[in-house]
Chain A
Amino acid sequence: MAAPPPARSRRRRRLSPGLRAAAPVLALLAFGFAAPLATVAAMSVSPPGSFAPAPGPDLQAWARLVDPAGGLPGSFAVTLGLAAATVAALLAICLPLAHALVHLFGRWSGLVSTLFVFPLFVSENVRLYGWALVLLKNGLLDGTMKALGLGPGPDWLFTPAITLAGMIYVHLPFMLFPVVLGLSLVPRETVEAARDLGASRARIWAEIVLPLASPGILIGMLLTFTLAAGALAEARILGGQSVIPVAQEIETAFSYAQDWPGGAAMALALVLITGALALALLAAIDLDRLLGRRR
């Protein structure tokens, strides 16, 4: 049963039961999501120096955004590159992990899943700060290596690489759980049939598992890419400003630089990139099949 049955009575004149049930969420998103984004859009075409949406339209903020001399196109490229690297690394980490969670742990899989969910409830600052304590001079790693006579620990803190590692670390659950959902869409019998017919492990993955699990994998890639594109704390706490992501530029524009239209234009550009990607991918995915599967 892929799709739920149609509503029993589709009344012509009154609102359909579905729309009535959707109304509170729609109202919330209109007030708390659509209207704020519209404000950002209005702000981004306000004259420089405005602190509230002003009549315009004034495109100076957007002109600065695409001006290569201002450095912002480079900042966007670095941010999106880091986000893409995060997605690639998380795919490599989470595919085997999700396979193990779905097939290997049996009655322990609930506990193991909970252990992977739990960090979501710890503020990401606290977890990233924990990494700083691991990697600091005389921190957990350095101290342990010295105590074992292995010499001083590696000097990884405040580098672009550790920023990327922090992004991979923080976004792991957002890749893992959609991929788990995706992999549990793959019927065991299909995989066994392919194996009985002599298909190699690699071929089974390439031609059966990955295509059938693709809705979950795509959602995982989408979520981690968009969240990583807006990541801020990793560069601040672990990277020591060795990389300046767009989210940081936006924050600076709104605080020290007092350039609200500029910040709004950057924020809207980021939102347009991630939003277009999200809509394109979500349009291709059958959410009923992904979430409504029966084991």
Chain B
Amino acid sequence: MRGLLRGWTLAVLALVYLPILAGALAGLSRSRYFLFPPRDWARDWSLDWWAKVAGALEIRALVANSLLIAAVVTVLAVGFGLCGALAFARHGWRGRRWFQRLVLLPLCFPQPVLGLAALMWFDTLGIGTGWRTAAVAHLVWIVPVVTLVIAIRVYGFDPALEEAAADLGASRLAIWREVTLPMLWPGIWSGALFAFLLSWGNFPLSLYTAGADGTVPKWLYAKMVAGYSPMVPALGTMSTIAAALVLGAGAAVARLARGRG
């Protein structure tokens, strides 16, 4: 039974990563069209498409836009999410159960519909779409996720510690800095990682709300629908590797912080 379950897990994992592997192979093949297996295993590989992607000015602008949106979303989502998590899990207040449900609601809505609704709303207000409106749309979906991630940490936090600090004469600011933030830090850090990476990879919200500002997922989709180019899997793989590096670096920082604290 145990062996069967382990095998099942590994089989599902293999299927989860198979398409990512296929994209990596396609981006590294020399030919214009994807052929597998390559005729010559030794010579049919090249980094040409990678170099082409890295050299394209258009793609640099996309990466800059995606990074800008993800950075803004991360900072704001952590601020919103931290407040939201305290209201979600820490304070006993009358509207809390109602608030918990409301926070989860945007996650249960199809993202293309949310993006379209935001587009119509911005249109009605006369706000032109661009990276700023895309960031707002991302926040509506990402703040609930960050709120949940931080809330899980808040549940495990004993408010008696804050009270003890207050009884010992610590100021509010000092309590925040010395007690509350260090306790919640792992949740805040994971929330920030989630926010950055979910924004970086988001397509359906950006499609409708980024206007003329291109993002990496938007560009990839446009090229996919238009026809095949090895630049698509090459950029897709590069974007995946970047996300993996961010996740790995984030985990390493968390581990270092835990070791010290």
Tell me the A residues contacting B by CB distance below 8 Å: 3-8, 16-19, 21-26, 28-29, 31-33, 35-37, 39-40, 43, 52-53, 93, 96-97, 99-101, 104-105, 112, 114-116, 118-131, 133-134, 136, 138-140, 142-144, 147, 169, 172, 222-223, 226-227, 229-233, 236-237, 247, 250-251, 254, 260, 263-264, 267, 270-271, 274-275, 277-279, 282-283, 287-288, 291-292, 294
Contact across chains for B216 and A130 when beta carbons are under 8 A apart = no
What are 24 of the A-B contact pairs (CB < 8 Å)? Answer: A4-B155, A18-B96, A21-B86, A23-B83, A25-B99, A36-B120, A39-B121, A97-B9, A114-B247, A122-B201, A129-B224, A129-B232, A129-B233, A133-B25, A172-B16, A223-B108, A247-B112, A250-B116, A251-B112, A267-B117, A282-B101, A291-B151, A292-B156, A294-B156
Most chain B CB within 10 A, of A8, A270, A287, A294, is at: A287
Interface 9-mer from B44-52, B54-62, B238-246: B238-246
Contact across chains for B113 and A124 when beta carbons are under 8 A apart = no
Q: Given A36-B121, A37-B117, A6–B155 Cβ distance below 8 Å?
A: no
Which residue in A226, A267, A283 is a CB contact (below 8 Å) of B108? A226
- The reply on B236 being an interface residue by CB < 8 A is yes
Q: Which 6 A-B residue pairs are closest in the complex by CB-CB distance? A: A230-B110, A130-B19, A18-B93, A18-B91, A292-B155, A143-B36
* Minimal beta-carbon separation of B160 from chain A (angstroms): 9
- The reply on B185 being an interface residue by CB < 8 A is no
Contact with A along B221-254 (1 / 0, CB 8 A): 1001100000011001001100110010001000
Q: Given A93-B12, A118-B243, A122-B239, A22–B84 Cβ distance below 8 Å?
A: yes
Most chain B CB within 10 A, of A18, A120, A267, A270, is at: A18
CA distance A129 to B109 in the complex (A): 24
CA distance A277 to B243 in the complex (A): 34
Complex interface: chain A residues within 8 A of B220 (CB): 123, 125-126, 129
Contact across chains for B110 and A125 when beta carbons are under 8 A apart = no
Q: Given A7-B92, A172-B16, A275-B105, A133–B34 Cβ distance below 8 Å?
A: yes
Which residue in B80, B117, B152, B224 is a CB contact (below 8 Å) of A25? B80
Q: Given A32-B140, A40-B120, A169-B15, A125–B221 Cβ distance below 8 Å?
A: yes
Complex interface: chain A residues within 8 A of B100 (CB): 282, 287
Contact across chains for B148 and A25 when beta carbons are under 8 A apart = no
Complex interface: chain B residues within 8 A of A29 (CB): 102-103, 106, 140
Contact across chains for A25 and B143 when beta carbons are under 8 A apart = yes
* Minimal beta-carbon separation of B247 from chain A (angstroms): 6
- The reply on B8 being an interface residue by CB < 8 A is yes
Count of B interface residues, CB-CB < 8 Å: 96
Complex interface: chain B residues within 8 A of A131 (CB): 18-19, 22
Which residue in A123, A136, A270 is a CB contact (below 8 Å) of B113? A270
CA distance A126 to B118 in the complex (A): 24
Contact across chains for A278 and B239 when beta carbons are under 8 A apart = no
Contact across chains for B155 and A52 when beta carbons are under 8 A apart = no
Tell me the B residues contacting A by CB distance below 8 Å: 2, 5-6, 8-9, 12-13, 15-23, 25-26, 34-37, 79-81, 83-84, 86-87, 89-97, 99-114, 116-118, 120-121, 123-124, 136-137, 139-140, 143, 147-148, 151-152, 155-156, 159, 163, 197-198, 200-204, 216-217, 220-221, 224-225, 232-233, 236, 239-240, 243-244, 247, 251
A-B contact count (CB 8 A): 298
Contact across chains for A133 and B109 when beta carbons are under 8 A apart = no
* Minimal beta-carbon separation of B124 from chain A (angstroms): 5
Contact across chains for B36 and A144 when beta carbons are under 8 A apart = yes
* Minimal beta-carbon separation of A267 from chain B (angstroms): 5
Complex interface: chain B residues within 8 A of A251 (CB): 112, 116
Contact across chains for A119 and B20 when beta carbons are under 8 A apart = yes
* Minimal beta-carbon separation of A102 from chain B (angstroms): 11
CA distance A144 to B109 in the complex (A): 40
Complex interface: chain A residues within 8 A of B96 (CB): 18
Contact across chains for A32 and B108 when beta carbons are under 8 A apart = no
CA distance A105 to B89 in the complex (A): 29
Contact across chains for A283 and B101 when beta carbons are under 8 A apart = yes
Which residue in A8, A25, A122, A236 is a CB contact (below 8 Å) of B147? A25
Contact across chains for B224 and A237 when beta carbons are under 8 A apart = yes
* Minimal beta-carbon separation of B74 from chain A (angstroms): 13
Most chain B CB within 10 A, of A7, A17, A36, A263, is at: A36
